[in-house]
Amino acid sequence: MKVTVVGAGTMGRGIAQVFAQAGNSVILTDIYPKALEDAASSIRSSLERLFRKGEIKENIDTILQRITSTQELSAGSDSDMFVEAVIEKVETKESLLTQISQIARRDAIIGTNTSSISINQLSSFVTYPERFIGIHFFNPVPVMKLVEIVKGERTPESLVRKTFEIVKALGKDPVISQDFPGFISNRVLMPMIREAILVLEEGIATKNDIDKTMKLGMNHPMGPLELADFIGLDVTLDIMEVLYHEYGDPRFKPPVTLRNLVNARKLGRKTSEGFYKY
C-alpha cells in the first residue's frame, strides 16, 4: 500500500515511521524543508532505539528507503491512503484537506489525525466525504498501541472495517468512536488535566504532589501535569479550546495558568520547560 502522510511534525513523522515499518511505501510531505530534515533524523533515531531493544529486526536502512520526503503534495497523488497530521486548527486543515481532495484518486482513503475536531466538519472540505475518516494516533506513535478510529455521519461501515484492518496491520490496537468533540480519549483526559491545573492555581497542592497522587493513588504511569508537558501545552490548550467551543461546558474551559505558559512559549518537553523544567 502507498500512503501519503501530510505534516512532518511529531505526529506525522511517527505515523510515517509505523507505516514504513509495516512494509508500506510512504510519502512524507511538509511545506517546510527543516521539518522534513528533522523528521528524517528523528525517524532514524527512533528506529535505532527500537532495534537496540530488539523490537524490530529488519534493517533500518531498508525501512528508511520506503519513506520519500518531499515538499510537493502532488507526489502522493497515486496513494491508496492519505493521513493529514498538521496542527489542530480548522482553517489549516480545511486548506490542506481541500488540496488533498483535489489530487487524490477517487478510491483513496482520506484520514485525519485530529484529536478533537469534528470529523463531520472536516469531511465537508473533502469531495466524496464517504471516503473520509478519523485516524487518531497517540504520541509517541511508534510506541503507543492505541488508535481511535472516528466515523462521521457519511462514513460507511465498509470504510470503518477497512481502516480497522489497516491499523491492526501496523501492530496497533484500535477503538471505534462516534463523532463527538474529543472522541473518547480527550473527552475524558482534558477535564482531568484542567482540574489538576486548577488545584495548582488554587494552591491546594504542589505540582509534584498532584502528579504523585495520580501516579501512586490511581496507578497512572504519568501525572496529569507531567502528561500535559509531554503532550505539549500548546496542543493541550488547542484541544481544550475546541472542546469548550463545541460543548460550551465550563469543565473544558482552559485555565489561565495554561494560557499564560503557552503565551510565554513554555510548551512542555519540546521547549525544555512547561509545568516542569527538562
Which residues are marked as active site?
115, 136, 148, 186
> Which residues are paired to 28 by β-bridges?
5, 69
Are 163 and 3 in contact, with CB atoms under 8 Å apart?
A: no
φ, ψ for residue 180, nearest 5 deg: -125, 140
CA distance 158 to 162: 6
Cite the beta strand spans of 129-178 per DSSP E: 132-137, 146-151, 173-178
**One-letter identity of residue 141:** V
Are 153 and 209 in contact, with CB atoms under 8 Å apart?
A: no
Cα–Cα nearest to 231, from 197, 204, 202, 200? 197
Give the three cell numbers for residue 88.
489542530
Place of cell 520506503: 66
Are 131 and 109 in contact, with CB atoms under 8 Å apart?
A: yes
Are 123 and 154 in contact, with CB atoms under 8 Å apart?
A: yes
Edge-first strand order for the sheet with 67-70 is 67-70, 25-29, 2-6, 81-84, 109-112, 132-137, 146-151, 173-178
Are 73 and 99 in contact, with CB atoms under 8 Å apart?
A: yes
